[in-house]
Each structure stands twice: as C-alpha cells, then as structure tokens.
Amino acid sequence: MSPRHKPATRCSLAPPSVGFVVIRRCAPAVAALALGLTSACSDRVGQTSPSAVPSSSGSPAASGAVGSARSPADVCALLSPDDVAASLGEPVRSVQPAAGSGWIVAQCTWSGANLSASLALGTAASFAAKGVTGPISDWVAQRRDSDAKILNVADIAGVGEGGYEIVGRSPVAIVYGGGGSVLVQVIVAPRVGTVDAAVPRALAQKALATATR
C-alpha cells in the first residue's frame, strides 16, 4: 500500500495471534496495519449505560503492576475512567476488558460517545512466549522501521525509555519502559472526525508509569 492510498474501512476480525481487543467501529486500516491487525472496530460506543463504568476509586492499579498484571482487569486498572475521560474530552460510558493474544498479556477498551481508547500490555515474558528473544526495544525499533515505510511515523521522546507513534485519523502510541520489560500500546479511534496524536500518547504515558512503578 502506497502512502497515498486511502485505507479501506472494512471490518474484519484480527487473527488470534495478534491484535487489539476486537472493537466493531471500523477504524482506518492505516493504524490497524501498523500493529499487525486486520481491523479495530466497536459497536459499543454510546450503547452502554454509565452504570457500567467502575468508579476510579474502585479499581486502583497496585504498586508493581507490571509484575502482577496478568488479567484483563489488571490492565484496565492501569488507567482510571477519569484519566481516560480527561484525555478523550468526553465521559467514559463503558469499560471492556479482554484477554490477550500473541505478545499481549491482556487488553482493555474505554468507550465514550465518539471516541474509544484501547490499551494492550506486553511484558518481557509474553514476548518471550511468542518467540521474541531479543529486547523489547529491538522489537519496537524493527516495527517502527517497518511502519515508517508506509505510514506517518514519529518518535516519542520523554516517555518511558522510548517508543513511537503513528499519526492518522486513529493515532497509535507504542512505548516501553521498566528496563525494557514492559510495552504499552494505545490506539484511539473516533466515530467521526480525527484524533490528535497527543491523546494516545498521554494515555500511554500514564499507563506505562503505573505499570512500571
């Protein structure tokens, strides 16, 4: 796909070996392609009552979260609904945890009226289980170089130990830290309009800081 080719917006399920939580709103394939996904879609936005959102005080992330984050609930605890709402600029209506696959330990999606934010967490152990033997930083560098051939990519400085972002209608932030032991990946998808790349970057920074403290 050339950089000028307009991405398709078909919805399809991500293969079990890779990907984000399967959401049903079609996000541009430009962001999905960079993460090895076939889509990022959600029909849950605006359809779940506010009562489905746990209080931010009810799900604090424990200290040393990277060592204990093994379930979707643990990953959802890396960001409070208030944190996500502040970054999205709209209330969170639902929080959906999901199991991981491939290098992803687990994942979580927060949905509002127009925007959804999906977070995936990977650790050195989950990458090793997937057959990635080198440091996470090497994997990120290789992904960045590959994505930069067809996508609008920029390095992220000052967040964790490094990372990059994919700028587009549904921007993506990929950052790592904890001595290269944990990776956080966030995609923010709009129902309409576009999203500033600063939004997933801010959420990734908060989640990584919680996961590595």
pLDDT digits (tens, 9 = 90+) for 76-123: 999 999 999 999 999 999 999 999 999 999 999 999 999 999 999 999
pTM, to two decimals: 0.73
Count of domains forming the chain: 1
Residue 201 lies in a domain: yes
Residue 162 lies in a domain: yes
- Helix 198-211 and helix 81-88: axis angle, to 10°? 160
* Beta-sheet pairing, 182-190 with 115-123: antiparallel
Residue 18 lies in a domain: no
Residue 17 lies in a domain: no
Residue 153 lies in a domain: yes
Tokens at 160, concatenated: 């964790």
DSSP string, 111-169: E-SSEEEEEEEEEHHHHHHTT--S-HHHHHHHHHHHHHTTS-EEE--SSTTEEEEE-SS
* Whole-number Å distance between alpha carbons of 115 and 87: 10
Domain coverage including residue 47: 29-211
Query: Position of tokens 């209506």?
Result: 93
* Whole-number Å distance between alpha carbons of 77 and 110: 11
What is the average pLDDT across 48-58?
37
Residue 50 lies in a domain: yes
Ramachandran angles phi, psi of 186, nearest 5°: -125, 135
Tokens at 118, concatenated: 């999906």
Work out the pLDDT band at 195, boundaries 50, 70, 90.
very high
Tokens at 164, concatenated: 């990059």
CB 187 within 8 A of CB 31: yes
Tokens at 140, concatenated: 């990120």
What is the average pLDDT across 191-209?
97
In the predicted structure, residue 154 carries a pLDDT above the cut 90: yes
